[in-house]
Amino acid sequence: MVADKTHHPGRDKVLITGAGGLLGRSAAAHFSRMDCNVTAVTRADLDIANQPAVLTLFDSIKPDVVINCAAATDVDRCEREPDWAFKANEEGPLNLARACLEKGAALVHVSTDYVFDGEKDGLYTQDDQPNPQSVYARSKLAGELAVSAELNRTYIVRSSWVFGKGGKNFGSRVVELAGRGARLKGVIDQVSIPTYAPDLAIGIYDVIRKGTYGLYHVTNTGPTTWMEFARMALDLSGLADIQIEPVTRAELGQPAARPRNSAMRCLLSERLGLAPLRPWQDALKDFIHQ
């Protein structure tokens, strides 16, 4: 943890990469709402694995803070295509860290609860050793390590089970899938904390405002399973009569391993007096009602 000047995102130039994705869109919306000077670039605008393109963009924008929301997040595709995973999740973040170092910017790098192996009972903290069990998780941890080795002015923000409008994952799509008559399966033996993308964007903003570099765990509050999450999402949507088949991870047989338990707690936020994000159930209500 390194204390530095307090950032004032409202005055700083903020560059958001991966802005076409779930978190990137929410971050761009929140930082713009907070009157920040935001440049949000999608993958089509900037491939973070392309170092010359990264430097050219830094030269023209001259960002004070960069929020990296770009990543290869298809966990099963990462398992099949490790080169693709490491390019986006290690090489890209390293390029950003190098450019930040050269141009004097700070970097927020978003990472994942999947860096943990899931064998702990209870909440993972920053004191727990990562032990990634999939290519995705290894590539994300490699990104964390590469960025922190290159640049002191780094906020690493791990989150979990991010859901929201336009998301491609189960939590984001369960109601839409139910509406289309799909057969739904809810995993019962995997626990973590669903995190609403707009809430995570607020959490990242608050972290930057504190100006204390380090490793954060930023999630909504309260561990659950995908089964419980999906049930509540359907009930809130007036689809209480739709059945969800309970399944285990083994029964699903996905190519990449998922941790049994990866719910996290943030010792650093607690030390700094950063308020925890609200319970995931409250966030889910907002998501469904919007």
Give the integer Cα–Cα distance in Å for 194 and 171.
8
Instruction: Indicate whether 93 belongs to the interface with ligand NAP (CB under 6 A).
Output: no
What is the nearest approach in angstroms of ligand NAP to the Cβ of residue 68?
7
- Show the tokens assigned to 257: 């391993």
Q: Which stretch binds ligand NAP (CB under 6 A): 22-30, 96-104, 227-235, 261-269?
A: 22-30
The one among 14, 30, 57, 73 contacting ligand NAP by CB under 6 A: 73
Instruction: Indicate whether 203 belongs to the interface with ligand NAP (CB under 6 A).
Output: no
Give the integer Cα–Cα distance in Å for 27 and 202.
8
Binding-residue total with ligand NAP (CB under 6 A): 28
The one among 71, 108, 151, 215 contacting ligand NAP by CB under 6 A: 71
Phi, psi of 181 (to 5 degrees): 80, 15
Instruction: Indicate whether 218 belongs to the interface with ligand NAP (CB under 6 A).
Output: no
Contact mark string toward ligand NAP, 114..153, x via CB under 6 A: --------------------------x-------------
Interacting residues with ligand NAP between 157 and 196 (CB under 6 A):
159-162, 169
Instruction: Indicate whether 217 belongs to the interface with ligand NAP (CB under 6 A).
Output: no
- Could you tell me which of 214, 92, 205 has the C-alpha nearest to residue 153? 214
Instruction: Indicate whether 85 belongs to the interface with ligand NAP (CB under 6 A).
Output: no
Instruction: Indicate whether 54 belongs to the interface with ligand NAP (CB under 6 A).
Output: no
Instruction: Indicate whether 20 belongs to the interface with ligand NAP (CB under 6 A).
Output: yes
Interacting residues with ligand NAP between 24 and 43 (CB under 6 A):
24, 43
Interacting residues with ligand NAP between 95 and 114 (CB under 6 A):
110, 112-113
The one among 7, 12, 15, 21 contacting ligand NAP by CB under 6 A: 21
Give the integer Cα–Cα distance in Å for 49 and 118.
30
Cα–chain center distance at 237: 25
- Could you tell me which of 139, 152, 193 has the C-alpha nearest to residue 171? 193
Beta strands in 117-220 (DSSP E): 154-159, 162-163, 184-187, 191-192, 195-196, 212-217
Give the integer Cα–Cα distance in Å for 126 and 169.
26
Instruction: Indicate whether 22 belongs to the interface with ligand NAP (CB under 6 A).
Output: yes
Instruction: Indicate whether 49 belongs to the interface with ligand NAP (CB under 6 A).
Output: yes
- Residues annotated catalytic, as ranges: 136
CA 166, 171, 177: angle at the middle one, nearest 5?
A: 75
Q: Which residues contact 35 (CB under 8 A, 6 or more apart)?
A: 10
**Sign of the four-CA dihedral 181, 182, 187, 193:** negative
At 111, the amino acid letter reads: S
Closest residue to bound ligand NAP by CB: 21
- Matching residue, tokens 């100006």: 211
Residue closer to ligand NAP, measured from CB, 109 or 210: 109
Which residues partner with 246 through β-bridges?
A: 186
Residue closer to ligand NAP, measured from CB, 112 or 224: 112
> Which positions touch ligand NAP (CB under 6 A)?
17-18, 20-24, 43, 46-49, 69-73, 88, 92, 110, 112-113, 140, 159-162, 169
